[in-house]
Amino acid sequence: MNKNLALEKKYKKIITALSIIIPIAVAALFGINLQKLGFDVAPMNFLPPIYASVNGLTAIVLIAAVIAIKKGNRKLHENLNTFAIFCSVLFLVMYVAYHMTSNSTPFLGEGFVKYVYYFILITHIILSVVVIPFVLTTYMRAKLTDFPAHKKIAKITFPLWLYVAVTGVIVYLMIAPYYVQ
């Protein structure tokens, strides 16, 4: 068997596992509030603007990565995408830490804006789960130097990932007035 095919098969198993484990772990941890369980932890109310900023940075980095590859700078493109993955992991860690130490903030907007908020929030959440295997597969194909397959899936991954990053910022900006400090 071709070495790349064997590696791709191995990586696909890892990608499938991560694509299942990450959302389940986040959902499980999201439901755990350490204060309610009796742990003496301070609420991490300072995290939402930080992780929203990380989402914004991710969006900027993704756009820069596309510009880099269009200019033929493959190494910069690779480094930017690796950094975007790092930012997404950093966001996830901070997001879980916040929700494990703080009470959820309800959206208090009314009327049409409430429907807009929930539409953006729900699509953001769904696509944040959907994008995981796309990001990992796109990255794997580049690492295995299967650039035609990488380019093909990147055309789907980029807009999904960019939407998740941008809507993360929008959700934060819409709910920020209701945070209790």
| Domain ranges (residues) in the chain | 3-178
Start-to-end Cα distance in the chain: 59
Helix, strand, coil share (%) of the chain residues, nearest 5? 80, 0, 20
Q: What is the mean pLDDT of residues 5-25?
A: 91
- Which residues have CB under 8 Å from 172's CB, separation 6+? 48, 49, 51, 52, 55
Cα–Cα distance measured from residue 57 to residue 77, given in angstroms and rounded to the nearest whole number: 15
Give the whole-angstrom CA distance, residue 66 versus residue 59. Answer: 11
Q: What is the pLDDT of residue 119?
A: 98
Compute the distance between CA of residue 34 and CA of residue 41 in angstroms, rounded to an integer.
7
Task: Give me the CATH code for the 3-178 domain, please.
Answer: 1.20.120
Q: Summarize pLDDT for 68-97 with one digit per residue, the tens.
A: 999 999 999 999 999 999 999 999 999 999
- Mean pLDDT of the 36-40 span: 81
| Tens digit of each residue's pLDDT (9 = 90 or more) over 104-159 | 889 999 999 999 999 999 999 999 999 999 999 999 999 999 999 999 999 999 99
Q: What is the pTM of this model?
A: 0.91
